[in-house]
Amino acid sequence: MEKRIAVISGDGIGPEVIEETLRVLEHATMNSGLTLNYTHYLAGGCAIDSKGRPLPEETLRGAQESDAVLLGAVGGFKWDTLPSDMRPENALLDLRAGLGLFANVRPAVLYNELASACPLKPSLTENGLDIIVIRELTGGLYFGKKERGEDWAYDTMRYSEPEVRRIAQVAMKTAMGRKKQVVSVDKANILESSRLWRSVVNEVAKEYPDITLSHMYVDNAAMQLVRYPKQFDVIVTENMFGDILSDEAAMITGSIGMLPSASLGSSKLGMYEPVHGSAPDIAGQGIANPLATILSAAMMLRHSLDRDDIAKSIEKAVSLALESGARTKDIALANEKSVSTTEMANTVIGFLEA
């Protein structure tokens, strides 16, 4: 079976972590009956430099014609002074909209081997953490009407019932395969859009009588994630709240360099990328952690390519690599020796082959 993968390496450490991930995929799919055909495209700052825009038409078209998109990271200091409509990050927004990807699924897993890297006291994370943040991707402030005057500006947070309903469905279905617990995060005491959100989520929950649904204001949710994170299983929330809370969840699991993500829609086509950014300050030094991208590729195999078996083999190899003591700089303690980006990937490949 052949599958077409659009590969967007992007900027900063993006090309480094993508290169190592493709090597891992090569070994993971060997003798599996699955052939991955890669086509490389430009997006982000490198596309601005080369094509004059963050998302060239050929990149969007290539992504739309593929079975999945594997992305590194976009952005960097070099493009920070550009007008808002020309920033590299617009490539992500336009890809999500152009591919119809409305649900961002971010697992936040604290591996037992990385417990010492978690900033919380051990009693709060005993036996690890396993949280999934499901973030709505195509509505809210990021896509609402916005305008700026000489001394004023506004952004509009707008949601429709169908937008809330479909993301709530994703959360409920995800929870059915886990602990059957969903926390919906909003600001319904202040925001009208959040009152709509809460109302629709309650309606959807009636279709899932086995699910325990609770609601939490976003400020309380941010506090509770560090006060007692084990209370959470599946968190569902709107675009901006999800952006913030998923990064918080990433850090309590030890390092943002460990967290993968999937952006999904109503079809099998999805976009898979690490939660971390382009980290231009360490680009080219060979010290970036490739595990978030490798784990994103595992999510791609599971959700878009229907190869849960290969996804599990990659995830197991990552766990064994950590168990063996392999640590990139971001997850190494002060007295631990760190390995390079390539060495970490080699360790994962070694366990895949074993």
Looking at the annotation, which residues are catalytic?
A: 142, 187, 219, 243, 247
Report which secondary-structure segment, H or E, holds 297. Answer: helix 291-303
**Residues 263/293, Cβ–Cβ less than 8 Å:** no
Helix axes 341-353 and 308-323, enclosed angle (nearest 10):
120
Q: How many CB atoms lie within 10 A of CB 286?
A: 15
Closest residue by Cα to residue 179 from 230, 234, 121: 234
Residue 147 neighbours by CB under 8 Å, 6+ apart: 153, 154
Closest residue by Cα to residue 291 from 37, 89, 114, 39: 114
Cα angle at 236 between 230 and 238, to 5 degrees?
Answer: 135
Among positive and negative, which fits the CA dihedral 112, 114, 118, 123? positive
Q: Can you read off the two tokens belonging to residue 61?
A: 């078209």
Residue 27 neighbours by CB under 8 Å, 6+ apart: 349, 352, 353
Among positive and negative, which fits the CA dihedral 201, 206, 210, 213? positive
217 SS3 class:
strand
177 SS3 class:
coil
